[in-house]
Amino acid sequence: MIAIVDYQMGNLRSVQKGFERVGHAAAITSDPRVLEQADRVVLPGVGAFADAIAEIRRRELIEPIRTAIASGKPFLGICLGLQMLFDVSYEDGEHEGLGVIAGEVRRFDVPAEYKVPHMGWNHVKQCRPAPIFQDIADDAHFYFVHSYYVVPQDVSVIAGEASYPEPFCAAIWRDNLFATQFHPEKSQAAGLQLLKNFAEF
């Protein structure tokens, strides 16, 4: 069973429907016991970093999320769910993340002709053959909407990059841990293939 972490921020139903479209049931839950029993866990997210971390802490989900990752079960972070895996975010101040991946979350500093947030379709260059990219063309388009991006200390965790206009980390992979800055559930065929790859990893 795939568990989608419910902390009242994010398009949970869209993620659930994405998995259903590729033939895999997924349950939306904030119950730590369900997360523990799940075969796979997904941490989605839309909104502000500080609000999201505060809500996860309020629901006592910090340790269940860390434990799920440490257990070796497949784990997928999406958008804000990627950013929260890092040590610290500088969105509206300085806020501590889950500390699963060493690094930080920074705001785009781009030329005037580039708008922030970075919103819409962009190419993702695959840096290494991550299992979630199986049967997905290199430089495939995925859908993004974000003003901040992650900067891992260890660049070897980067699985995919996009450019805006400079390259930034668009996906990470370390053992059982996967996370994307883009929204696979909004990315049509390539995104659905990624969800299928994760569900069958």
Catalytic residues: 79, 183, 185
Phi-psi region of 187 (alpha: psi -120 to 50; beta: other; left: phi over 0): alpha
Question: Comparing C-alpha atoms, which of 114, 82, 109, 112 is closest to residue 98?
Answer: 82
Residue 112 CA to residue 134 CA, distance in Å, equals 36
* Nearest to 163, CA basis, from 112, 108, 90, 113: 108
State the Cα angle at 10 between 9 and 11, rounded to 5°: 140
Spatial CA neighbour of 59 closest among 32, 81, 41, 40: 32
Terminal CA-to-CA distance of the chain, rounded, Å?
A: 13
Give me 134's structure tokens. Answer: 């199986």
- In angstroms, rounded to a whole number, what is the distance separating the alpha carbons of residues 181 and 76? 11
E strand or H helix that includes residue 20: helix 12-21
